[in-house]
């Protein structure tokens, strides 16, 4: 997928359509999606247990919540180094390294007898997750033709959802049979299995022209690449932040509203599970829409639906009403599976893809962290209902932002990117029309 630079000297070039199926999609099922399922099952098994482990080790509720948040902190800290690492050693090796690091961290959580060791282990799992997420995105982006990119990446997002859905049930079974420590051991085994599977399979990106650096030239720093493509990150990247923030807030505000409405834990879990089921069913249709009609036809409607869910939530009080709104939000979230990865792949420069994607994922992870923080900040001084309305308004404003910028940088029908067609200068590093 390499190609000459355009006449304006920009490092961004359009990946040409590959003849036929350069890498048959079915050949990616095991090497790309298999490790993701294994790792996400392990994550799903332990995510609900971290706070309980911290409490068992003597942490207060506040400290336990902070330890849980260290996963997100680790991802934020690891995004930019992950881009540099994948560019230097390649996506496949980065995936293996991330899985091995995750296994070591989970083993540390299994052996933890102090809050400090547990906190360190949770932080390292976040770092490993940053490397794994970036490398798997770059891996598929380099292997799949543009016209199939959204379906491939939405399926990747869907497999992650499936793993997170299965994991808690397996974790519950393991804990009921043994103890919490056994769940960490199980997750470590899943990460080791993922590393083994990735290492044993051929690198499907070889021969496709996937570029991890600048062969024959000096290696550029992550900050140099991000400075060159700063306008993309400050426009489309803000849209990715909005999407991620709305998604992360949905996961926290629905259980909080259910609890505030007097629903018990069992009913809340059922509502959450049904919503997750709706979420899982729609990832592939969303990818088909993006490939056939353009990314904007998923990015904008999904945010409109999520925003509507936030605005409707304060009007509900019983399990049926809350469940209906939760399913509506699951619909909006599910159809947008893979949208952040797809937009990042479309906007990424060919020669410095991994480094750019490190900055792109930083935008998304900032959204993951900031969305729930908005709810926390508003709920400190106002009712939770106002926090939900605030997120609804912000999400709808974000849908307008996406409507403005997605058509500029993202692929349209049949995999064509709009920027060569428009023939407009977009500034340094943003591509220039022929």
Give the mean pLDDT of 82-103: 88
Q: Which residue has better confidence, 252 or 412?
A: 252
Query: Do both 204 and 235 map to the same domain?
Result: no
Query: Do both 47 and 114 map to the same domain?
Result: yes
Is the confidence at residue 205, as pLDDT, over 80?
A: no
Q: How many CA atoms lie within 13 A of 259 on its CB side?
A: 8
Query: Do both 158 and 248 map to the same domain?
Result: no
- 28 within a domain of the structure (yes/no): no
- 2 within a domain of the structure (yes/no): no
Radius of gyration of the chain (CA): 21
Query: Do both 189 and 254 map to the same domain?
Result: no
> Residue 364 in 3-state DSSP?
helix
- 14 within a domain of the structure (yes/no): no
414 pLDDT band, cuts 50/70/90, is: low
Query: Do both 230 and 292 map to the same domain?
Result: yes
3-state helix, strand, coil in the chain (%, to 5): 80, 0, 20
- 313 within a domain of the structure (yes/no): yes
Paired tokens of 376: 């926390």
pLDDT tens across 150-176, in order?
Answer: 888 888 888 888 888 888 888 888 888
**N-to-C CA span, the chain:** 18
- 15 within a domain of the structure (yes/no): no
- 8 within a domain of the structure (yes/no): no
Q: What is the pLDDT of residue 13?
A: 37
Using the 3D structure, point to which of 208, 233, 262 is the last residue of a domain.
Answer: 208
- 10 within a domain of the structure (yes/no): no
Is the confidence at residue 92, as pLDDT, over 50?
A: yes
Query: Do both 269 and 196 map to the same domain?
Result: no
- Return the CATH number at 45: 1.20.1250.20
Phi/psi region, residue 58 (left: phi>0; alpha: psi -120 to 50; beta: rest), is left
Q: Which residue has better confidence, 273 or 97?
A: 97
Query: Do both 46 and 97 map to the same domain?
Result: yes
Query: Do both 393 and 258 map to the same domain?
Result: yes
Q: Are 75 and 129 in contact (CB under 8 A)?
A: yes
The domain in which residue 384 lies consists of 220-428
Angle formed at CA 112 by CA 111 and CA 117, multiple of 5 degrees = 135
Is the confidence at residue 223, as pLDDT, over 90?
A: no
Q: Which residue has better confidence, 51 or 75?
A: 75
- 19 within a domain of the structure (yes/no): no
Query: Do both 204 and 272 map to the same domain?
Result: no
Which residue from 13, 106, 61, 64 is spatially nearest to 347, judged by alpha carbons? 13
Query: Do both 418 and 284 map to the same domain?
Result: yes
Q: What is the pLDDT of residue 102?
A: 93
d(CA 127, CA 72): 9
pLDDT tens across 22-34, in order?
Answer: 456 666 677 778 8
Q: How many domains does the chain have?
A: 2
Q: Which residue has better confidence, 95 or 220?
A: 95
pLDDT tens across 97-156, in order?
Answer: 999 999 999 999 999 888 999 999 999 999 999 999 888 888 888 777 788 888 888 888
1 pLDDT band, cuts 50/70/90, is: very low
Query: Do both 255 and 162 map to the same domain?
Result: no
d(CA 164, CA 334): 14
Q: What is the pLDDT of residue 71?
A: 85
Paired tokens of 229: 């493509």
Lowest mean pLDDT among 48-57, 131-140, 208-217, 364-373: 208-217
Using the 3D structure, point to which of 148, 182, 208 is the last residue of a domain.
Answer: 208
Give the mean pLDDT of 205-216: 44
Q: Which residue has better confidence, 6 or 213?
A: 213
- Tell me what the pLDDT averaged over the chain comes to: 80
What is the CB neighbour count within 10 angstroms for residue 114?
A: 10
Q: What is the pLDDT of residue 3?
A: 38
Using the 3D structure, point to which of 158, 184, 208 is the last residue of a domain.
Answer: 208
Q: What is the pLDDT of residue 418?
A: 58
Is the confidence at residue 207, as pLDDT, over 70?
A: no
Query: Do both 109 and 166 map to the same domain?
Result: yes
Q: What is the pLDDT of residue 89?
A: 83
Is the confidence at residue 21, as pLDDT, over 70?
A: no
d(CA 122, CA 191): 15
**Beta pairing partners, 425:** 432
Q: What is the pLDDT of residue 310?
A: 95
């Amino acid at each position: 997928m390499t190609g000459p630079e355009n006449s304006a000297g920009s490092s961004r070039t359009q990946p040409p359509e590959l003849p036929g199926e350069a890498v048959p999609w079915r050949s990616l099922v095991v090497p790309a999606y298999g490790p993701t399922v294994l790792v996400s099952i392990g994550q799903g098994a332990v995510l609900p247990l971290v706070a309980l482990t911290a409490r068992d080790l003597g942490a207060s509720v506040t400290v336990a919540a902070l330890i849980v948040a260290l996963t997100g902190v680790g991802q934020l800290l690891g995004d930019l180094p992950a881009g540099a690492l994948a560019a230097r050693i390649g996506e496949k090796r980065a995936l293996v390294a991330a899985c091995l690091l995750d296994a070591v961290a989970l083993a540390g959580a299994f052996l933890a007898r102090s809050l400090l060791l547990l906190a360190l282990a949770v932080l390292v799992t976040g770092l490993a997750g940053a490397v794994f997420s970036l490398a798997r995105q770059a891996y598929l982006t380099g292997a799949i033709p543009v016209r199939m990119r959204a379906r491939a990446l939405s399926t990747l997002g869907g497999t992650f959802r499936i793993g997170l859905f299965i994991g808690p049930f397996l974790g519950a079974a393991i804990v009921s049979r043994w103890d919490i420590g056994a769940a960490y051991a199980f997750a470590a085994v899943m990460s080791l299995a993922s590393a083994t599977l990735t290492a044993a399979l051929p690198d499907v990106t070889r021969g496709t022209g996937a570029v991890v650096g600048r062969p024959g030239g000096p290696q550029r720093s992550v900050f140099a690449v991000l400075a060159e493509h700063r306008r993309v990150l400050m426009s489309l990247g803000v849209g990715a932040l909005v999407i991620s923030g709305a998604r992360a807030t949905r996961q926290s505000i629905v259980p909080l509203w259910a609890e505030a409405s007097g629903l018990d834990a069992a009913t809340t879990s059922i509502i959450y599970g049904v919503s997750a089921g709706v979420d899982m069913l729609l990832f592939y249709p969303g990818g088909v829409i993006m490939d056939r009609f353009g990314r904007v036809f998923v990015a904008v409607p999904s945010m409109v639906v999520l925003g509507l869910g936030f605005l409707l939530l304060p009007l509900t009080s019983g399990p049926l009403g809350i469940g209906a709104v939760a399913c509506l939000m699951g619909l909006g979230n599910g159809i947008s599976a893979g949208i952040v990865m797809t937009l990042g792949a479309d906007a990424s420069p060919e020669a410095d893809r991994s480094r750019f994607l490190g900055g792109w994922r930083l935008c998304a992870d900032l959204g993951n962290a900031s969305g729930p923080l908005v709810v926390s900040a508003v709920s400190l001084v106002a009712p939770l209902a106002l926090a939900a309305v605030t997120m609804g308004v912000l999400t709808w404003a974000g849908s307008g932002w996406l409507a403005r910028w997605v058509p500029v940088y993202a692929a349209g029908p049949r995999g064509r990117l709009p920027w060569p067609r428009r023939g407009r200068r977009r500034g340094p590093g943003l591509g220039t029309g022929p």
